[in-house]
Structure 1
Amino acid sequence: MRTVFDPSAMPPGGLYPLLTASVVPRPIAWVSTVSAEGVANLAPYSFFSVSSPNPPVVQFTSVGRKDSLRNIEATGEFVINLATAHMVEQINASSAGYEHGVSELEALGIASEPSEKVAPPRVAESPVAIEATLHRIIEVGNSFVVMGRVVAIAVRPEFLAADGLPSFEAIAPLSRLGRTEWGMPPEVRTIDRPGVPT
């Protein structure tokens, strides 16, 4: 017999920890933006995915109005830096509630580099940086789904496999789980897709 949780019977915010402990693992978008005043911002978001391959659109969700969202609304640009296991302490530290106008990159000593096509900088150590321009923002309850049109994907050469694509093993992507848990790279199994059933 299952334990059934009814959202309508739970207190405000009571479903959040249940959802985040159930929808696991979640890849992390380490989002860099620049404010209208030119201050760089960096924050991790674990509600992150691809919206569409054609046109190429990625998305992340901001629960509440945060600096990343405000900066994207003001400038229309952002970068999703892939979060890797060896950077877990810096990524976690960048989630702190810094005052508006404080750059997490500077406060935490995180090295950055210029992006190819957008103003926000890339995290220098991130293996893959997805540069995007604002496609649309959709308000859903207390959250905002930010969709960005991909204008460039910058991959450090040491993270490319022989087939020219990023290597999962080399990237060692970090993920969020429930509570205060973080997921390290899992075991990988290769299975070909089945053909059309006969």
Structure 2
Amino acid sequence: MLDTFVKVTRPATAGQTNRMNDVHFYDPLVGHGLPHDPFKAIVAPRVIGWISTRAANGRLNLAPYSFFGAFATFPPIIGFCSEAYKDSIRNIEETGEFVWNLTSKTLAEQMNLTSMPVPPEVDEFELAGLTPAAGRNVSVPHVGESPAALECKLLQVVRLHSLDGQPMDNYLALGQVVGVHIQNAYLKDGRFDTLAADPVMRAGYRADYAQIGSMFEMFRPKA
């Protein structure tokens, strides 16, 4: 039986709606043709990469990143991407360590404060009134008020490249988790209670955030 192919032609103008099936299609290189770029709203919600680091001179830094995720389980590996070479990336390259801190709803305003563009010598822990709790397997402190934190050792910092091979001003830091902090209040029957931790997530446009409204179970089918 012959395969059926659908030919997709790149639009000559920014964003076009296909009236046959009511789909808005656009090529990012041409433009979305909408009032606001929908990309971050489509890839949402995303757990916030609230990253704490320490510079080689001991100066602390704490900053949130929209692009964050987990990439492996054994061993556990997480990563975040910085748009521009910022203090977090520089500190991580200097010391080889960082910590991810879970942003609960109760910490949302303080997390937002740490996104303020301030000089490198400003300690965001102090700025936001947060407790720098000592690490166990890294020298970087974590947010003492956070329900959970992941201590990481740097695996690599990758500068991203576009399809045409041009280097971008985006830096992906990948780290192996070497220590996990969980507040006992969020352990229920031996499981981390994600719903109770109430994580705040990025959900699209400039000021859009989200919470977990509900959870459900779905088990992987057996062969």
TM-score normalized by the length of structure 2: 0.82
The answer to whether structure 1 residue 129 and structure 2 residue 149 are counterparts is yes
SS at match of 2:91: helix
- Equivalent of 2:183 in 156, 162, 166: 156
Q: State the Cα deviation string for residues 96-140 of structure 1 (Å, max 9, x = none).
A: 111111111111211121011111111011111100010011111
User: Distance between the aligned counterparts of 2:211 and 2:177, measured in 1?
Assistant: 27
User: Distance between the aligned counterparts of 2:75 and 2:116, measured in 1?
Assistant: 34
Matches within 5 A, 1:107-186: 107-140=127-160, 141-162=168-189, 164-179=190-205, 180-186=207-213
Q: State the Cα deviation string for residues 13-50 of structure 1 (Å, max 9, x = none).
A: x9x94221110100012100011111110011121111
- Deviating above 4 A after TM superposition, structure 1's stretches of 4 or more consecutive aligned residues are none
TM-score normalized by the length of structure 1: 0.92
Q: Residue type matched to 2:176 in 1? A: R
Q: Paired residue for 1:103? A: 123
Matches within 5 A, 1:1-198: 1-10=22-31, 17-140=37-160, 141-162=168-189, 164-179=190-205, 180-196=207-223
Deviates more, 1:16-25 or 1:186-195: 16-25
User: Distance between the aligned counterparts of 1:173 and 1:76, measured in 2?
Assistant: 27
User: Distance between the aligned counterparts of 1:50 and 1:26, measured in 2?
Assistant: 11
User: Distance between the aligned counterparts of 2:138 and 2:124, measured in 1?
Assistant: 19
Deviates more, 1:179-188 or 1:2-11: 2-11
* Number of matched pairs: 192
User: Distance between the aligned counterparts of 2:200 and 2:65, measured in 1?
Assistant: 12
How far apart are residue 192 of structure 1 and its match? Answer: 2.1
Q: State the Cα deviation string for residues 52-102 of structure 1 (Å, max 9, x = none).
A: 112221111111111111100111000001111111111111111111111
Structure 2 spans left out of the alignment, 5+ residues: 1-21, 161-167
User: Distance between the aligned counterparts of 2:75 and 2:219, measured in 1?
Assistant: 26
Q: Residue type matched to 2:68 in 1? A: F
> RMSD across aligned C-alpha pairs, in angstroms?
1.6
